Every structure is written in structure tokens, then in C-alpha cells.
Amino acid sequence: MDRAKRVFSSKQLVTLVWLIGLVVVWEIVASVVQQTKRTPEYVLPHIYQIVDSVFSQNLVNGSQTASQVVLTHAGITLARAGIGFLIGSAIGFVLALLMHMFLPVEKIAFPYLMLIQMIPILGMAPIVLAITKDIDKSRIVIAAILTFYPVATNTLAGFKAVEKEKLELMYSIAASKKDIYRKLLIPSSIPYFFTGLKISAPMAITASILVDTLQGGGGLGCMLSQSLKHAMSIYVFWQIVFFSAIIGILSFYLMSLVERLVSPHTKVRR
């Protein structure tokens, strides 16, 4: 009885139910589409068709199969997303530090940070491309821009969430500002910093894919639009959709894993 209760209330079960539900809904809609549309695979193919295409040996662009196309171009996109993510996280952390150390910096910088965040990437990307004149650099820049804001705000919240008594303890032993940051504020902001990373990791990937679509230089986004424009099999598109969704989710879990390795004993107190 107890065991059954445990199984039914477990997180894995919830995930499983969601997954099954999603597949069922997908398949129902796909069957309807199959009956009513002339080119159903452009609207919603069956899942088995997509899986089939992953293992299919048919060449889609003269030299590569659909899954080979996805994997080679994923490398380009993800590497740029990763570099942008690392740069953005570093900037975000340093910015949070500066905003906390110097109140005027927070007062001056914060409204602009929010402003940058409110510009849609679709609008920002062509401008960045025009400035950098290089699709690779724009991918990195856009990924960094999207990353730094969640990291900066969350880390700043982490600095501010330190209990007053912990700060007073430092004060009572006449700790220097450097020691207060090194031994108290930075370690206790780590869980918040990682919350920022978890939010921005999938965003950096999305941004990088989006920037790809701007120019024909390769990358997942580029293949996505080519596939949509009938330049190659539509299943490349569907594979990219699934692939990027999975990578996005994995990036989140990767951050959780890194967090557990970096600070196994830091509880998030919220």
C-alpha cells in the first residue's frame, strides 16, 4: 500500500503522465491533420515519422542524412551559445557585485538593464549583426545579452538575502569589506547565482538558434528556415524542434548538476 502510494506521488510518475499525455494529444491532432491537409508533414507529422527520419539513410542535401545535418549544425550553434552564456554569466556576476558594492551603480545601471531586457531579441539581433558584421560574433553577443540579466538580478538578490545576523557577526569581528564578500556574501549568493544560470542556459540556446536564421552561414536556425522553405526535407525541421527542446532541458539539468558539484551543502533558503 505504502509503496504504491510512494510510486503514485513520485515526481517521475508526474513526468511520465505528462509525457504520455503530450504524445496522445500530438497523435490525435496528427491523425486529424493527416485526414484533412494535403501536406500533413508540414503541419504536424506523426511522431513515428519523425523518429523514422532520424534513422533514415536518405540524403537530404546531397551529402548528409537529416540527422547528420542536425548534428553538424548543432555543433556550430551550441558552441556559440555556450561561449555567449559563459561571457554573459561572468558579466552578470561582476555586475551584481558592482551593484551591491556601490549603490550608485545599482541606481544608474538597473533601469538600463531592464530596458535591454525588454527589447525583443528579434529586434535586437539585426542591429547586433550590423554592428559586429559577423554571424558568429552576433550569436555570442546575443546569447551573452540574454544571459547576463537573469544572472545579475538573481545574484544581486542573493547578496541582499544574506541574514542581518551573519553580517553583524562579520562586523563584530571587524572584518574587512574584502573578507565580508569573500567569506560571506559570495558563498551565500551561490544558489541564487545558479538560479540565474538555470533560467538563462536554455535562453542562450534559443537566442543562438534565432540568430542563425538571419544569415545563411549555417547553424541550427539556418537549417530550420531552409527546411521550412522546402530547400530540404521538412523532417530536418521537426528533428531540430525536438533536438533543441531536449538540449534546452538538458542545459537546465547540467546547471543543477554543476551546482551540486560546486556547493553540495548550500541549501536554498526561500
Partner 1 sequence: MLLARKAIKEYGKDIASETEEFSAGIVIKNLSVLFPDKNGGEPVEALRNINLEIKPGEFVSLVGPSGCGKTTLLRTIADLQQPTTGSISIGGLTPREVRLQQKFGIVFQNPVLYEWRTVRRNVCMPMEIMGIPKPERTRRVTQMLELVGLYHFGKKHPHELSGGMQQRVGIARALALRPKILLMDEPFSALDEFTKEKLHLDLQRIWSKTQKTIIFVTHSIQEAVFLSDKVVVLSPHPGRVSAVVEIDLPRPRGLEIKDTAEFNALVSRVRNSFEGV
Residues that bind partner 1 (CB under 8 A): 163, 165-166, 168-176, 179, 183-184, 187-188, 190, 263, 265-267
Shortest Å distance, C-beta 110 to partner 1: 24
Instruction: Tell me the DSSP string of 136-170.
Output: HHHHHHHHHHHHHHHHHHHHHHHHHTS-HHHHHHH
254 CB-contact burial (10 Å; exposed 0-12 / middle 13-18 / buried 19+): middle
Nearer to partner 1, 2 or 165 (CB): 165
In residues, how long is the chain?
270
CB of 68 to partner 1, least distance (A): 45
Are the CB atoms for 140 and 87 separated by under 8 Å? yes
Of 160 and 166, CB closest to partner 1:
166
Distance of closest approach, residue 85 Cβ to partner 1, in angstroms: 24
CA 247, CA 35: separation in Å to the nearest integer? Answer: 32
**Separation CA 219–CA 236 (nearest Å):** 12
Residue 195 CB, shortest distance to partner 1, in Å, is 16
C-alpha cell recorded at residue 7: 510510486
Nearer to partner 1, 191 or 221 (CB): 191
Judged by DSSP in three states, 65 sits in strand
Nearer to partner 1, 130 or 173 (CB): 173
Q: Which is nearer to partner 1, 7 or 169 (CB)?
A: 169
In whole angstroms, what is the distance from residue 65 CA to residue 143 CA? 29
**Cβ of residue 161: shortest distance to partner 1, in angstroms?**
13
Pick from 36, 28, 71: which is nearest to 242 by CA?
A: 71
